[in-house]
Amino acid sequence: MNRHGRRQLITAALALSAAPRLRAQAAPLNVALAPFLSPAALLATFSPLRLHLEKALARPVEMVTARDFRSLMEATQRNEHDVVQLPAHLARLAMLDWGWRNVAAPAESVSVFVAVKDGGPVRAAAELRGRGMAMLDPLSLTATVGRRWLELQGLAGAVAITSMPSINSMLFALDRGEVAAFVAAETQLNSLPADTPRGERRLATIGGIPGPVFVARPTLPAAELAAVRGAVESFQPNPGKPPTAANSPLRPLTEAQLKALDGYVAIARQALAAAR
C-alpha cells in the first residue's frame, strides 16, 4: 500500500474513533421546566433561553415540562432530566435529599400576591371566608406561601382552595366567577399569554420570595455542569420585556439564600408524602 493509501486509512480510522465522541457531544441537554403555565405558553416563554443555551453550549437543548409538580419531583428523584427548574423550596429539597446541584435562579427575588376580581365583592381578607381561592399545585412555592398567608389571616380551613394547573387557568376561573381570589407570583403574571383575561386587583403582597431554581442532576459530569452554569449565567434578558423567570439574569443562589429555604423543606416533604 502506498503512502497516500495509508494516510486515507488512518484518516478514516480517526474519524470512526471520533464519531461516538462527537455524537455524545451533540446529544441534547434535557431541561425540565416547572409547570406554572400551560405547556404551550411555558415552552414559548422559555424559547429565548433555550436558543441561547443551544448557541452557548453548541448542542441541542430539549425543553419539556410535566403534568404537575409531583410528577416533576418524581422524575427529578429518578434523575430523568439533566437540568430541572423547580420552585425554590423543592429545589432545596432535591439538593439536600437527592444530591442535585445548584445552577442558577433569577437574580431578583419575586413577590407573591393574593388577587381578587376588580370591582368584585371581596375588598378585605376577611371577606374571603366561605369563598374559593385558586392556587397552583400544593407543592408549588406560591401555594405554600398562600396557605401560610391564610393561616396568618385566621382563614385556614375557611377558604375552599382549588388547585389549578396554570396561572392563566386561574385568571379564566376568576373571570368566570368560579373562584373569588388566586395566588401567583409577579413574574408569573408577566408570562401570561395575551388572550388571558385580566381584571384582577391585588389584595395582599408577600415579598422577598426566591424565583424558580435550576438544578443539575447528581450524575451530570463536572465539565458539563460547569458549561451549563456558564451558559445560563451568560443569558441576557430582553430589556424591552418585563422581568419573568424566563427573562431575568440568572445567578446561583448563595449559601445563605439556600439555608433560608430550609424552613420550607419540611413543608415540602409533608406535601410530597401526602400526595402519594
Each residue's pLDDT tens digit, 183-202: 998 888 887 888 999 999 99
Parallel, antiparallel, or unpaired for β 250-251 and 101-106?
antiparallel
CA end-to-end distance (rounded Å), the chain: 69
pLDDT tier for residue 72 given thresholds of 50, 70 and 90: very high
What is the average pLDDT across 77-88? 96
Residue 22 has pLDDT above 70, yes or no: no
Cell numbers that stand for 261 in this block: 429555604
Alpha carbon 135 to chain centroid, angstroms = 16
Q: How many residues does the chain have?
A: 276
Could you tell me the residue ranges of all domains in the chain?
A: 28-107+211-275, 110-209
CATH fold of 110-209: D-Maltodextrin-Binding Protein; domain 2 (3.40.190)
Q: Which amino acid is at 12?
A: A
What is the Cα–Cα distance from 257 to 55, expressed in whole angstroms?
Answer: 30
What is the Cα–Cα distance from 274 to 208, expressed in whole angstroms?
Answer: 27
pLDDT in the model for residue 8: 40
pTM score, whole prediction: 0.74
pLDDT in the model for residue 15: 40
Closest CA to 29 of 108, 88, 85: 85
Each residue's pLDDT tens digit, 200-224: 999 999 887 888 999 999 999 999 9
Provide the percentage of residues in the chain whose pLDDT is more than 90.
66
Each residue's pLDDT tens digit, 88-108: 999 999 999 999 999 999 998
**Under CATH, which number does the domain 28-107+211-275 receive?**
3.40.190.10
pLDDT in the model for residue 269: 87
Residue 14 has pLDDT above 90, yes or no: no
pLDDT in the model for residue 28: 96
Contacts of 31 (CB under 8 A, 6+ apart): 50, 53, 61, 62, 63, 64, 81, 82, 83, 84, 85, 214
**Alpha-helix runs per DSSP H in the chain:** 3-26, 39-45, 47-57, 69-77, 88-98, 141-152, 167-176, 186-189, 222-233, 255-260, 262-275
Each residue's pLDDT tens digit, 135-163: 998 888 899 889 889 999 999 999 999 99
The total of other beta-carbon atoms located within 10 Å of residue 169's CB is 17
Provide the percentage of residues in the chain whose pLDDT is more than 70.
90
